[in-house]
Amino acid sequence: MSNDRSEHGAGRVGQVKEVTSLTNPIIKDIRALAQKKHRDETRSFMAEGLKLVIDALDLGWKIKTLIYAKAAKGKPHVEQVAAKTVAKGGLVLEVSEKVLSTITRRDNPQMVVGIFEQRYQSLKDLRPELGQTYVALDRVRDPGNLGTIIRTADAAGASGIILVGETTDPFSLETVRATMGSVFAMPVARASAEDFIRWQKSAGVKVVATHLAGAVDYRTIDYKSKPVVILMGNEQAGLPEDLAREAGALARIPQAGRADSLNLAIATGIMLFEARRHLLSLDARA
C-alpha cells in the first residue's frame, strides 16, 4: 500500500512497513512515548484497540502511526483504518506480537494501536452555555482517577474537563486506558489557578466547588439556571483556599461511616450525575 499525497503538507509518503526487530528506531521512538517528556516533545500519545482507533478517526483525531499485529492483517476493519491512515499521510506498521507487547507493555496486547496527535482546548475559547457542565480538577495526581473522571464525564454528558495547576498527563498510557475511549470525546483544557479564576469570573458560569468542610448539601444546589463548573480538589490536599474562596457554592456530599472522604473520581461522579439529573433520562442518549 502506498500513497504519494500528504494532506498536511509534510511531504511524507504513507506506507506499510513490516517490523519485527525490537531495536528498530521507529519502535524505540514509540516506546519512548511511555515518558511524558517524549510525549510532550512529539505532542503524541498512544491508544490501544481497533474500536478506539476507528472512533478516534471518526471524531477527526489526527493519526500519526497505526500499528497492527501480523495476525490482524487482512481483517476488513483493520484494512480500512490502515487505508485511512495512509490517506492522511500517516505511517502503518505491521509488527510481530512481541513488538506489540513491548510497545504496550502488556503480555496480551490489543491487535491494533494508534499513535495520535495530542489535542487541548484553549480555556479562553471555552464559552459554556446553559445546560452544559464542565469539570475542573485541581492538581489531579492519579492517572487512574483522571481517566475514570474523563470517562464518567463523557457518560454524564459533560462538555469538557479543565485541568487546573500541575496535573497528571491526560495522554499517559494509564490515563488513556482508564478513559476507555472517552479521551477522544471529551475536550480537555489546561489552566493555572490564576487563569482559571480569571476565566470563571468572565464566563458566566456557576462554580460548584466540593469541599469536605462545605456547608451546602450538594443535593440542594441549583444546577439549572447557569452553566455549571464542578470544581474538585486534589487527592491529598483537597481544594486550596484561593480556589475555594472564589466559588459560588462550597458543596459537600454527606457521608456516614468511618471513611474521611470519598475517592476523587467517585465524588466527581456523584456530583456530575446530580448536576445533570434534570438533563438525563433513560430514553434520550445524547
Residues that bind ligand SAM (CB under 6 A): 210-212, 214, 232-233, 235-236, 238-239, 252-253, 255, 261-262, 264, 267
Distance CA 92, CA 13 (A): 11
> How many Cα atoms are found within 13 Å in the side-chain-facing hemisphere of 45?
21
Give min distance, CB of 148 to ligand SAM, in A.
Answer: 13
Distance CA 134, CA 57 (A): 24
To the nearest whole angstrom, how small is the minimum distance from the Cβ of residue 232 to ligand SAM?
Answer: 4
DSSP annotation of 21 reads -
Here the cell at position 131 is: 445546560
Tell me how far apart the alpha carbons of residues 64 and 45 are, in angstroms, rounded to a whole number.
Answer: 10
CB of 104 to ligand SAM, least distance (A): 30
Residue 257 corresponds to which cell in the numbers above?
461511616
Q: Least distance from C-beta 219 to ligand SAM, angstroms? A: 11
Residue 115 vs 231, nearer CB to ligand SAM: 231
Closer residue to ligand SAM (CB): 113 or 230: 230
Q: Which residues make Cβ contacts (< 8 Å) with residue 94, sequence separation at least 6?
A: 16, 17, 18, 19, 68, 69, 70, 73
Query: Which set of grid coordinates corresponds to residue 14?
Result: 504513507
Rank residues 100 and 228 by Cβ distance to ligand SAM and give the closer one.
228
Is the CB of 102 or the CB of 263 nearer to ligand SAM? Answer: 263
Nearer to ligand SAM (CB atom), residue 26 or residue 253: 253
Shortest Cβ 196–ligand SAM spacing (Å): 15
